Amino acid sequence: MQKTHTPIAFNPVTGAIRALAMDAVQQANSGHPGMPMGMAEIAEVVWRHNLRHNPANPAWANRDRFVVSNGHGSMLHYALLHLTGYDLPIDELKKFRQLGSLTPGHPEVHHTPGVETTTGPLGQGITNAVGFALAEKMLAANFNRPGHTIVDHHTYVFLGDGCLMEGISHEAASLAGTWGLGKLIAYYDDNGISIDGEVEGWFTDDTRKRFESYGWQVIGQIDGHDAAALAKATAEAKADTQRPTLIICRTTIGAGSPNKAGTADSHGAPLGAAEIALVREAIGWSHAPFEIPAEVYAAWDAKAAGAKAEAEWNERFAAYAAAFPELAAEFKRRLAGELPAGFKAAADALIEKVQAKAETIATRKASFNALEALGPVIPELLGGSADLAGSNLTIWSGSKELPPGSNADAAGVNYVNYGVREFAEVAIANGIALHGGYIPYTATFLVFSDYCRSAIRMAALMKIRQVMVFTHDSIGVGEDGPTHQPVEHTASLRLIPNLNVWRPADTTETAVAWIHGIENADGPTLLALTRQNLPFTARSAQQIADIRKGGYVLSDAADAKAVLIATGSEVGVALGAQKLLAEKGVAVRVVSMPCNRLFDAQDKAYRDAVLGKGLPRVAIEAGVSDGWYKYVGLDGAVIGLDRFGESAPGGTLFKHFGFTPERVTETVMSLL
């Protein structure tokens, strides 16, 4: 049943947003017109009167960040970018949701000028925004000096009922309150409608009390179509520097539509030609589709104000650079994403040390050692763990943890305690990486990658540099049993495009994986690490170099009759089988494949040289077997685990499930 709503004073400035949104969705015959039409007044107050940005330079370092967490309303964002002067011409809005356009169905970072993060999966945008605000706070603490403030910007985020229903918003908002992120301002589009209708049947939370309990300043409910009320609320939000702010804005979805406003009919489908004609009449918009009058463009144009704001900041930064040249150079380096000059030497020294020590240790411990070696030379390396730091081994000797509270000293902080919040951890780190100035790493048990999988996928989609440390990688977890033994996780994570999944076999491969992950600016790196000790294997310089190729010949044999392919803890099993087979007079090659994606990216000649031609192949991994058949073929064999584990000591389980040199030997002999 349609509800009554407060009358709205329509004007051409906000009318342009409504018209562009409904016309673009109609032309595409796809999209969500309701949210842009309902949030038009909120957008006008934020973008015309509060947001500091420069359309001519979307990457200006001290710009305010803006996130549309309810990303299905992407036409609101595109309309704002177009109207304020970004390089997003009207023809791109006409191609909304079409192949090759700059206006995809949901906002995509690195694709549309001015878009800060890719949103769509609800709740992740507000969580990325928490990461933006945290990065701003820490950079300010590290680089600002008395009389020289170079980091000072707000993060504005729009979110809706769906974002608040998703559990990740609880995780992220709780942390934002704990950290006192006073420059985070969120506008809640409280329209009471989702695709299935009026949300009061399934969403009865007291949002005010919920956010107050997190330590947020909460303003409203206010009329989300009242510009004066919105301006007042925004001023109150900016005045409170101790707490993040949620402004609850009661709005009418599809505002301006005589027959569909306030209903689910305006949420996720075109309004239709007849209704659009009525909207034009109702809001006083007589212009043709995609026609914006010059005076409306002039009212929205932010280019002059943006250029002025950036020029003023450039003057401040020049004065800062004169007073603190080393800090200024470091700031520019970090914002550019360049690694420090000492990184390569530290990386080379790490490899040399690992070779010299030849330790038999767990790869989670090898990961810790890599942090100890690389951390001191990478001040932008920002760690964290979802409560399991003692098991993940992610707090190294130089770690300085972020204290709670808005006034806590964040200078020198390089570690964040996320608590038991795996999903928010990765999504916040995505926001930190997108903000710039930090390379985040996160951590939990591999089995809990299920909790944060969507954020892992978004990191890969956005090609974010983040290192994800996942320990306790197999049945080697042992007595915790099948609930904590990730038999299917590594294989499924390897299916995500752009994600380098490493399962190193020893200290050397772990060190190379860390170095490669820090260097890789084109996507995230996931480390699947063991709880149990793994034996060290000596390598030549060429073999160490070939680790970066994802797969290589670890131990060859003259006149090999078969090839063993293994990863992680099972490489040791393969090497043991090689010895047993040699005793039987059967020579075999052992291939270590710590990162399938990198191996698959090599040219065919290299792959053929590693795997050999015409030889039977056996792959060994303590996890589901399906992904290995592309390497062994129909005539080969996979020794895997296509069932859940058991509760018993790890060593017992490896024997119980047949991950032994003896079983590998029997399998090879059966193929021969």
Tell me the catalytic residues.
Answer: 422
Alpha carbon distance 460, 125 (integer Å): 15
Q: Where are the alpha helices (DSSP H) in 29-166?
A: 34-38, 40-49, 74-84, 90-94, 124-143, 161-165
Question: Rounded to the nearest 5 degrees, what angle is found at the Cα of 4, between the Cα atoms of 2 and 9?
Answer: 125
**C-beta neighbour count of 305 within 10 angstroms:** 17
Kind and range of the H or E run holding 221: strand 217-223
Distance separating alpha carbons of residues 135 and 117, to the nearest angstrom: 14
Contact in structure between 371 and 425 (CB atoms under 8 Å): no
The set of residues, in sequence order, having a beta carbon less than 8 Å from that of 624 and lying 6+ positions away, is 487, 488, 491, 640, 641, 642
Cβ 618 vs Cβ 586: under 8 Å = no
DSSP string across 418-469: --S-HHHHHHHHHHHHHHSS-EEEEEEEGGGHHHHHHHHHHHHHTT---EEE
Residue 197: strand pairing partners: 194
For the record, the structure tokens of 482 come out as 């099948």
Longest dimension (CA), the chain: 89
Task: Tell me how long the chain is.
Answer: 672
- 8 Å CB contact between 658 and 638: no
d(CA 578, CA 551): 18
CA distance 551 to 569: 15
In 3D space, the residue among 324, 104, 458, 547 whose CA is nearest the CA of residue 332 turns out to be 324
Inter-residue contact 497 to 460 (CB < 8 Å): yes
Check if the beta carbon of residue 618 is closer than 8 Å to that of residue 636: yes
Please tell me what DSSP assigns to residue 588.
E
Instruction: Please say whether the beta carbons of 123 and 169 come within 8 A.
Output: yes
CA distance 503 to 334: 29
Element (H, E) at 110: none
Which residue reads 């752009």 in tokens? 498
Q: What Å distances lie between residue 269 and 35, 389, 520, CA to CA?
A: 11, 46, 40
Supply angle C-alpha 24, 29, 35, rounded to 5. Answer: 55
**Cα 166 from Cα 148, distance rounded (Å):** 40
DSSP state string for 502-549:
E--SSHHHHHHHHHHHHH--SS-EEEE--SSEE------HHHHHHHTT
Helices (H), 522-591: 541-547, 570-583
Within 448-557, strands assigned E span 467-471, 500-502, 525-528, 533-534, 552-555
